[in-house]
Amino acid sequence: MSEQELLRSLIPLNSLSDSALRELMSKAVVEQLAAKSELFRQGDRDHDAIFLLRGEVSLTADDGARRRVVSGSDEARYALAQLKPRQYTGVAATEVTVLRVDSDLLDRMLTRDQTIGYEVMEFEGAVDPEWLRRMVQLPVFERLPVENINALLARLESIDAKAGQVIIRQGDSGDYYYAIKSGSVSVSRKSGAGKVVVLNELQEGEGFGEEALLSEEPRNATVVMKTDGVLLRLAPADFDELLKEPLVSWVTEPEARRLVQAGADLLDVRTEDEHRQGAVKGSRNLPLYLLRMKAATLDPARKYVAYCQTGRRSCAAAFLLAQRGFDVAVLRGGLDGVQKPSRA
Protein backbone atom coordinates (compact mmCIF):
# COMPACT_ATOMS: atom_id res chain seq x y z
CA MET A 1 0.00 0.00 0.00
CA SER A 2 1.40 3.43 -0.99
CA GLU A 3 1.73 6.24 1.55
CA GLN A 4 -1.17 8.11 -0.07
CA GLU A 5 -3.37 5.00 0.04
CA LEU A 6 -2.40 4.43 3.67
CA LEU A 7 -3.39 7.97 4.63
CA ARG A 8 -6.61 7.67 2.67
CA SER A 9 -7.50 4.56 4.67
CA LEU A 10 -7.46 6.49 7.96
CA ILE A 11 -10.68 7.83 9.48
CA PRO A 12 -11.59 10.72 9.31
CA LEU A 13 -8.63 11.72 7.09
CA ASN A 14 -10.36 9.85 4.27
CA SER A 15 -13.04 12.55 4.12
CA LEU A 16 -10.58 15.41 3.49
CA SER A 17 -10.03 16.81 0.00
CA ASP A 18 -6.62 16.14 -1.57
CA SER A 19 -5.48 19.73 -0.99
CA ALA A 20 -6.66 19.68 2.65
CA LEU A 21 -4.90 16.36 3.27
CA ARG A 22 -1.65 17.78 1.85
CA GLU A 23 -2.00 20.81 4.12
CA LEU A 24 -2.67 18.63 7.14
CA MET A 25 0.35 16.45 6.44
CA SER A 26 2.58 19.51 6.17
CA LYS A 27 1.74 20.22 9.83
CA ALA A 28 1.62 16.64 11.12
CA VAL A 29 4.48 14.58 12.56
CA VAL A 30 5.43 11.04 11.53
CA GLU A 31 7.45 9.24 14.24
CA GLN A 32 9.32 5.96 14.34
CA LEU A 33 9.47 4.52 17.86
CA ALA A 34 11.27 1.53 19.30
CA ALA A 35 9.46 -1.36 20.96
CA LYS A 36 8.37 -0.61 24.56
CA SER A 37 8.15 3.14 23.84
CA GLU A 38 5.20 4.82 25.58
CA LEU A 39 2.90 6.73 23.23
CA PHE A 40 0.52 8.08 25.86
CA ARG A 41 -0.64 7.34 29.40
CA GLN A 42 -4.09 6.68 30.79
CA GLY A 43 -5.61 9.94 32.03
CA ASP A 44 -3.68 12.15 29.59
CA ARG A 45 -5.57 15.13 28.19
CA ASP A 46 -3.25 15.84 25.27
CA HIS A 47 -4.42 17.31 21.96
CA ASP A 48 -2.95 14.64 19.66
CA ALA A 49 -4.77 12.27 17.36
CA ILE A 50 -2.32 9.36 16.99
CA PHE A 51 -2.69 6.92 14.09
CA LEU A 52 -0.77 3.64 13.85
CA LEU A 53 0.81 3.34 10.42
CA ARG A 54 3.09 0.33 10.97
CA GLY A 55 3.69 -2.17 13.78
CA GLU A 56 1.65 -3.12 16.85
CA VAL A 57 0.55 -1.14 19.90
CA SER A 58 -0.57 -2.55 23.26
CA LEU A 59 -3.36 -0.70 25.07
CA THR A 60 -3.78 -1.40 28.79
CA ALA A 61 -6.06 0.13 31.42
CA ASP A 62 -5.79 0.33 35.20
CA ASP A 63 -8.76 -2.01 35.57
CA GLY A 64 -6.86 -4.72 33.70
CA ALA A 65 -8.51 -4.26 30.30
CA ARG A 66 -6.04 -4.97 27.50
CA ARG A 67 -6.14 -4.65 23.72
CA ARG A 68 -3.63 -4.91 20.91
CA VAL A 69 -3.92 -2.85 17.74
CA VAL A 70 -2.15 -4.07 14.58
CA SER A 71 -1.43 -1.78 11.63
CA GLY A 72 -3.60 -2.50 8.62
CA SER A 73 -6.51 -3.73 10.73
CA ASP A 74 -9.91 -2.04 10.78
CA GLU A 75 -9.22 -0.77 14.31
CA ALA A 76 -5.98 0.86 13.15
CA ARG A 77 -7.94 3.04 10.75
CA TYR A 78 -9.04 5.11 13.75
CA ALA A 79 -6.91 7.23 16.12
CA LEU A 80 -5.62 5.22 19.08
CA ALA A 81 -7.62 5.57 22.32
CA GLN A 82 -8.87 8.93 21.14
CA LEU A 83 -11.37 9.56 23.96
CA LYS A 84 -9.96 12.17 26.42
CA PRO A 85 -8.90 11.80 29.12
CA ARG A 86 -7.31 8.73 27.60
CA GLN A 87 -8.81 5.46 28.82
CA TYR A 88 -5.68 3.41 28.11
CA THR A 89 -1.90 3.58 28.27
CA GLY A 90 -0.42 2.96 24.84
CA VAL A 91 2.95 1.20 24.48
CA ALA A 92 4.68 0.06 21.29
CA ALA A 93 4.61 -3.75 21.26
CA THR A 94 6.99 -3.73 18.29
CA GLU A 95 8.87 -1.04 16.46
CA VAL A 96 6.11 1.29 15.22
CA THR A 97 5.50 4.21 12.93
CA VAL A 98 2.79 6.61 14.07
CA LEU A 99 1.22 9.77 12.71
CA ARG A 100 0.56 12.58 15.21
CA VAL A 101 -1.99 15.21 14.22
CA ASP A 102 -3.27 18.09 16.33
CA SER A 103 -6.91 17.20 17.07
CA ASP A 104 -8.09 20.82 16.98
CA LEU A 105 -6.37 21.40 13.64
CA LEU A 106 -7.88 18.24 12.19
CA ASP A 107 -11.35 19.22 13.39
CA ARG A 108 -11.02 22.75 11.96
CA MET A 109 -9.91 21.38 8.61
CA LEU A 110 -12.71 18.84 8.50
CA THR A 111 -15.26 21.53 9.33
CA ARG A 112 -13.85 23.95 6.79
CA ASP A 113 -13.35 21.38 4.05
CA GLN A 114 -16.77 19.81 4.37
CA THR A 115 -18.62 23.09 4.77
CA ILE A 116 -16.78 24.65 1.86
CA GLY A 117 -17.43 21.53 -0.17
CA TYR A 118 -21.13 22.17 0.26
CA GLU A 119 -20.77 25.87 -0.50
CA VAL A 120 -18.70 25.12 -3.61
CA MET A 121 -21.61 23.09 -4.94
CA GLU A 122 -23.95 25.97 -4.17
CA PHE A 123 -21.73 28.58 -5.86
CA GLU A 124 -20.33 26.44 -8.65
CA GLY A 125 -22.14 28.33 -11.36
CA ALA A 126 -20.65 31.70 -10.37
CA VAL A 127 -17.26 30.98 -8.82
CA ASP A 128 -14.65 28.41 -9.83
CA PRO A 129 -14.77 25.63 -7.18
CA GLU A 130 -11.05 24.88 -7.28
CA TRP A 131 -10.20 28.55 -6.79
CA LEU A 132 -12.48 28.64 -3.76
CA ARG A 133 -10.72 25.64 -2.25
CA ARG A 134 -7.34 27.29 -2.73
CA MET A 135 -8.60 30.59 -1.35
CA VAL A 136 -9.93 29.18 1.91
CA GLN A 137 -6.58 27.46 2.55
CA LEU A 138 -4.81 30.83 2.80
CA PRO A 139 -3.66 31.76 6.34
CA VAL A 140 -6.19 34.57 6.61
CA PHE A 141 -9.11 32.15 6.28
CA GLU A 142 -7.77 29.67 8.86
CA ARG A 143 -8.82 32.09 11.59
CA LEU A 144 -12.28 32.82 10.23
CA PRO A 145 -15.36 31.08 11.63
CA VAL A 146 -16.90 28.78 9.04
CA GLU A 147 -20.10 30.81 9.01
CA ASN A 148 -18.11 33.90 8.00
CA ILE A 149 -16.57 32.03 5.08
CA ASN A 150 -20.01 30.91 3.96
CA ALA A 151 -21.34 34.47 4.08
CA LEU A 152 -18.20 35.74 2.37
CA LEU A 153 -18.78 33.46 -0.60
CA ALA A 154 -22.32 34.74 -0.93
CA ARG A 155 -21.33 38.41 -0.84
CA LEU A 156 -18.22 38.46 -3.04
CA GLU A 157 -18.85 40.24 -6.32
CA SER A 158 -16.91 39.07 -9.37
CA ILE A 159 -15.64 41.66 -11.86
CA ASP A 160 -13.62 41.23 -15.07
CA ALA A 161 -10.60 43.54 -15.36
CA LYS A 162 -8.31 44.37 -18.28
CA ALA A 163 -4.55 44.94 -18.33
CA GLY A 164 -3.82 48.60 -17.58
CA GLN A 165 -7.13 49.19 -15.82
CA VAL A 166 -6.86 51.29 -12.63
CA ILE A 167 -8.62 49.50 -9.80
CA ILE A 168 -7.63 51.79 -6.92
CA ARG A 169 -6.34 55.34 -7.27
CA GLN A 170 -4.13 56.99 -4.64
CA GLY A 171 -6.03 59.68 -2.77
CA ASP A 172 -9.49 58.26 -3.37
CA SER A 173 -11.69 57.12 -0.50
CA GLY A 174 -11.94 53.41 0.28
CA ASP A 175 -14.81 51.66 -1.46
CA TYR A 176 -14.04 47.90 -1.64
CA TYR A 177 -11.71 45.17 -0.49
CA TYR A 178 -10.39 43.08 -3.39
CA ALA A 179 -9.13 39.52 -3.79
CA ILE A 180 -7.41 38.40 -6.97
CA LYS A 181 -9.10 35.39 -8.53
CA SER A 182 -6.88 35.43 -11.62
CA GLY A 183 -4.24 37.71 -13.09
CA SER A 184 -1.87 40.10 -11.30
CA VAL A 185 -1.74 43.74 -10.22
CA SER A 186 0.94 46.37 -9.69
CA VAL A 187 0.92 48.57 -6.57
CA SER A 188 2.57 52.00 -6.81
CA ARG A 189 2.73 55.25 -4.86
CA LYS A 190 3.40 58.83 -5.95
CA SER A 191 5.62 60.84 -3.63
CA GLY A 192 5.11 64.49 -2.75
CA ALA A 193 7.73 65.34 -5.38
CA GLY A 194 5.67 63.56 -8.02
CA LYS A 195 7.89 60.49 -8.36
CA VAL A 196 6.01 57.21 -8.85
CA VAL A 197 7.52 54.18 -7.13
CA VAL A 198 6.32 50.61 -7.72
CA LEU A 199 5.90 49.03 -4.29
CA ASN A 200 4.74 45.53 -5.04
CA GLU A 201 3.15 43.05 -7.41
CA LEU A 202 0.28 40.90 -6.17
CA GLN A 203 -0.77 37.58 -7.64
CA GLU A 204 -3.73 35.20 -7.61
CA GLY A 205 -5.08 34.57 -4.12
CA GLU A 206 -3.74 37.82 -2.62
CA GLY A 207 -5.89 40.70 -1.42
CA PHE A 208 -5.59 44.49 -1.43
CA GLY A 209 -7.51 47.62 -0.53
CA GLU A 210 -7.89 46.92 3.17
CA GLU A 211 -5.70 49.79 4.43
CA ALA A 212 -8.18 52.55 3.58
CA LEU A 213 -11.12 50.56 4.95
CA LEU A 214 -9.34 49.86 8.23
CA SER A 215 -7.72 53.27 8.75
CA GLU A 216 -10.60 55.33 7.31
CA GLU A 217 -7.96 57.33 5.43
CA PRO A 218 -7.72 57.94 1.64
CA ARG A 219 -6.14 55.27 -0.54
CA ASN A 220 -2.36 55.39 -0.01
CA ALA A 221 -1.43 53.71 -3.30
CA THR A 222 -2.59 53.10 -6.85
CA VAL A 223 -3.36 49.55 -7.99
CA VAL A 224 -3.32 48.76 -11.72
CA MET A 225 -3.97 45.45 -13.50
CA LYS A 226 -0.77 44.07 -14.99
CA THR A 227 -2.69 41.43 -16.92
CA ASP A 228 -6.26 40.64 -17.78
CA GLY A 229 -7.90 38.96 -14.82
CA VAL A 230 -10.87 38.54 -12.53
CA LEU A 231 -11.23 40.26 -9.16
CA LEU A 232 -13.61 39.53 -6.32
CA ARG A 233 -14.63 42.55 -4.28
CA LEU A 234 -16.31 43.01 -0.92
CA ALA A 235 -18.26 46.06 0.23
CA PRO A 236 -16.99 47.93 3.35
CA ALA A 237 -19.81 46.82 5.66
CA ASP A 238 -19.31 43.17 4.67
CA PHE A 239 -15.55 43.56 5.05
CA ASP A 240 -15.95 44.87 8.61
CA GLU A 241 -18.41 42.17 9.61
CA LEU A 242 -16.81 39.13 7.98
CA LEU A 243 -13.07 39.86 7.95
CA LYS A 244 -12.07 42.74 10.21
CA GLU A 245 -14.00 41.74 13.33
CA PRO A 246 -12.75 38.13 13.61
CA LEU A 247 -9.19 38.84 12.44
CA VAL A 248 -8.25 41.92 14.46
CA SER A 249 -7.64 41.25 18.16
CA TRP A 250 -7.65 44.37 20.36
CA VAL A 251 -5.88 44.53 23.70
CA THR A 252 -5.75 47.10 26.49
CA GLU A 253 -2.50 48.61 27.74
CA PRO A 254 -2.25 46.20 30.73
CA GLU A 255 -2.96 43.25 28.43
CA ALA A 256 -0.31 44.46 26.00
CA ARG A 257 2.23 44.71 28.82
CA ARG A 258 1.47 41.14 29.89
CA LEU A 259 1.90 39.88 26.34
CA VAL A 260 5.26 41.64 26.04
CA GLN A 261 6.38 40.24 29.39
CA ALA A 262 5.42 36.78 28.07
CA GLY A 263 7.68 37.26 25.04
CA ALA A 264 5.65 39.17 22.44
CA ASP A 265 7.43 41.78 20.31
CA LEU A 266 6.23 45.40 20.10
CA LEU A 267 5.69 46.64 16.56
CA ASP A 268 5.48 50.39 15.93
CA VAL A 269 3.83 50.86 12.53
CA ARG A 270 4.09 54.66 12.45
CA THR A 271 6.53 56.42 10.12
CA GLU A 272 10.25 56.49 10.81
CA ASP A 273 10.05 60.18 11.78
CA GLU A 274 7.25 59.53 14.28
CA HIS A 275 9.18 56.64 15.79
CA ARG A 276 12.32 58.76 16.18
CA GLN A 277 10.32 61.51 17.86
CA GLY A 278 9.19 59.14 20.61
CA ALA A 279 8.33 55.45 20.85
CA VAL A 280 7.58 52.75 23.36
CA LYS A 281 10.83 51.40 24.74
CA GLY A 282 11.95 48.20 23.05
CA SER A 283 9.61 48.54 20.08
CA ARG A 284 10.58 47.75 16.51
CA ASN A 285 9.66 50.26 13.81
CA LEU A 286 8.00 48.82 10.70
CA PRO A 287 5.94 51.54 9.01
CA LEU A 288 2.60 50.45 7.61
CA TYR A 289 3.50 51.54 4.09
CA LEU A 290 6.49 49.14 4.13
CA LEU A 291 4.68 46.25 5.75
CA ARG A 292 3.95 44.24 2.60
CA MET A 293 7.59 44.39 1.55
CA LYS A 294 9.10 43.82 5.00
CA ALA A 295 6.71 41.22 6.46
CA ALA A 296 9.18 38.47 5.57
CA THR A 297 11.67 39.92 8.08
CA LEU A 298 9.32 39.07 10.97
CA ASP A 299 9.40 35.74 12.80
CA PRO A 300 6.12 33.87 12.17
CA ALA A 301 6.66 31.87 15.37
CA ARG A 302 6.47 34.98 17.55
CA LYS A 303 3.47 36.94 18.77
CA TYR A 304 3.37 40.68 18.09
CA VAL A 305 1.62 43.67 19.61
CA ALA A 306 1.18 46.45 17.04
CA TYR A 307 0.61 50.09 17.89
CA CYS A 308 0.41 53.47 16.20
CA GLN A 309 -0.90 56.84 17.38
CA THR A 310 -4.64 56.08 17.42
CA GLY A 311 -4.96 52.37 16.60
CA ARG A 312 -6.10 52.80 13.00
CA ARG A 313 -2.81 52.07 11.25
CA SER A 314 -1.98 49.25 13.65
CA CYS A 315 -5.41 47.74 12.93
CA ALA A 316 -4.52 47.72 9.22
CA ALA A 317 -1.10 46.25 10.02
CA ALA A 318 -2.62 43.45 12.08
CA PHE A 319 -4.99 42.58 9.26
CA LEU A 320 -2.18 42.53 6.69
CA LEU A 321 -0.05 40.29 8.90
CA ALA A 322 -2.97 38.00 9.73
CA GLN A 323 -3.29 37.34 6.00
CA ARG A 324 0.27 36.05 6.14
CA GLY A 325 -0.31 33.80 9.15
CA PHE A 326 1.10 36.07 11.89
CA ASP A 327 -0.40 36.31 15.38
CA VAL A 328 -0.82 40.05 16.06
CA ALA A 329 -2.75 41.97 18.71
CA VAL A 330 -3.52 45.69 18.43
CA LEU A 331 -3.13 48.23 21.24
CA ARG A 332 -6.59 49.75 21.58
CA GLY A 333 -6.50 53.52 21.19
CA GLY A 334 -2.81 53.52 20.28
CA LEU A 335 -0.42 55.85 22.04
CA ASP A 336 -3.21 58.40 22.43
CA GLY A 337 -4.95 55.92 24.73
CA VAL A 338 -1.90 55.26 26.90
CA GLN A 339 -1.78 57.33 30.07
CA LYS A 340 1.97 57.36 30.63
CA PRO A 341 3.82 55.59 27.79
CA SER A 342 7.41 54.62 28.46
CA ARG A 343 9.47 56.59 25.95
CA ALA A 344 12.76 55.48 24.42
Residue 141 contacts residue 109 (beta carbons within 8 Å): no
Using pLDDT thresholds of 50, 70 and 90, give the confidence band for residue 120: very low
- Residue 113's pLDDT is 62
Mean predicted confidence (pLDDT) in 243-272: 90
CA 246/CA 147 separation, integer angstroms: 11
CA 250/CA 258 separation, integer angstroms: 14
CATH topology for 248-337 is Oxidized Rhodanese; domain 1 (3.40.250)
- Residue 191's pLDDT is 78
CA angle at 323 for the pair 259 and 328, rounded to the nearest 5°: 10
CA 10/CA 4 separation, integer angstroms: 10
| pLDDT tops 60 at residue 71 | yes
User: Residue-wise over 181-192: b if at least 16 C-beta within 10 A, else e?
Assistant: bbbbbbbebeee
Distance set, CA 198 to CA 202, 287, 326 (Å): 12, 17, 25
Whole-prediction pTM: 0.52
* Higher-scoring residue by pLDDT: 2, 118: 2
CA 123/CA 117 separation, integer angstroms: 10
CA Rg, the chain, in Å?
24
pLDDT per residue over 167-219, tens digit each?
999 989 888 999 888 899 999 988 778 888 888 899 887 888 887 887 777 88
Nearest alpha-carbon partner for 7 in 258, 20, 322: 20
Looking at the DSSP bridge assignments, the partners of residue 172 are none
Helix ranges (DSSP H) in 124-234: 129-135, 139-142, 146-155, 210-215
Mean predicted confidence (pLDDT) in 132-139: 61
| pLDDT tops 70 at residue 319 | yes
Mean predicted confidence (pLDDT) in 275-288: 90
Mean predicted confidence (pLDDT) in 302-313: 91
Residue 314 contacts residue 330 (beta carbons within 8 Å): yes
Mean predicted confidence (pLDDT) in 6-35: 89
| pLDDT tops 90 at residue 341 | no
For the chain, where do the domains classified as CATH 2.60.120.10 start and end?
A: 3-103, 156-241
Mean predicted confidence (pLDDT) in 6-17: 88
When mean pLDDT is compared across 62-71, 198-207, 264-273, the lowest value belongs to 198-207
The architecture (CATH level 2) of 156-241 comes to: Sandwich (2.60)
Name the CATH superfamily housing domain 3-103: Jelly Rolls (2.60.120.10)
